[in-house]
Amino acid sequence: MIATAEEFIRRLRNGAEAARLDGESVGRFLERLGEGNAWLMCLILTLPFIQPLPTGPIATLGGLAFAGIGIRLRRGEEALWLPGKLRALRPGPRTWNAFSGFGCWLLGTLSHVSRPGRLVGLVDRLGHRGAATLVLVGGLLVAVPFLVVPLQNSLPALIIFFTCLGRLQRDGAMYLLALLSLVVTLVYFALILWGLTFAAGRGWEWLGA
């Protein structure tokens, strides 16, 4: 069973302390976080995409990365995979302190919003594979290369954010927000496609005239 947000706070602090003492590679730090660290890292990595302005090619690459994580999560692989060169990197103590401090602050702040044990029936019904599928779908939607449209990255990123938070906290209310974000995203994208199709049709008529 994956760790809760409270347990991850403790592991983040311990990992930063170990890094100060003898240096820590990225791979070793992830190992200290333990099973389920992919949910935590997804939660943190969605934050740059939640801001309302589109991030262009970065969103496409990031979305595909989220989708890849979602595929691994569906297979039951809940530890974040990184290439060997990235796992071997050894950031300095200041980097680990900053990352650990931010992670602890984020999880501590979110614990005031998300409470473990809410709507557990939904958590059990959706299950591990259902939550992983939401991460996969959210990643693909983040990667959709629309034109410069506000919220095109933030809405699908919220699907991943709420799913990961719900998974860490076993909070069905967060799953409801993730599902709501999915519906809103699909409706918003459908409206964008309709608007683009309508504009293209009117433009073609104008050229024909």
pLDDT in tens, the chain (209 residues): 566 777 888 888 887 777 776 667 888 888 888 878 899 999 999 998 988 887 778 888 999 999 999 999 999 888 888 888 888 888 877 888 888 888 888 888 888 888 888 888 888 888 888 999 999 999 999 988 766 778 888 999 999 999 999 998 888 999 999 999 999 999 999 988 888 777 666 666 676 65
Q: What is the DSSP letter of 117?
A: T
- Asked if 58 and 2 count as a contact pair (C-beta separation under 8 A), the reply is no
3-state SS class at 81 = coil
d(CA 111, CA 14): 20
d(CA 39, CA 18): 22
Give pLDDT, residue 126.
83
Q: What is the pTM of this model?
A: 0.87
d(CA 33, CA 12): 7
Residue for token pair 């809760």 = 4
Give pLDDT, residue 200.
67
Please give the tally of structural domains in the chain: 1
Residue 142 carries which side chain, given as an amino acid letter? V
Give pLDDT, residue 55.
77
| Paired tokens of 5 | 């947000």
The four Cα atoms 104, 106, 107, 109 give a dihedral, to 10 degrees, of: 110
d(CA 111, CA 170): 12
| Paired tokens of 9 | 């706070």
Q: Range of 139's domain?
A: 5-208
- Asked if 56 and 143 count as a contact pair (C-beta separation under 8 A), the reply is no
Give pLDDT, residue 73.
92
- Chain Cα centroid distance, residue 18: 26
d(CA 106, CA 130): 25
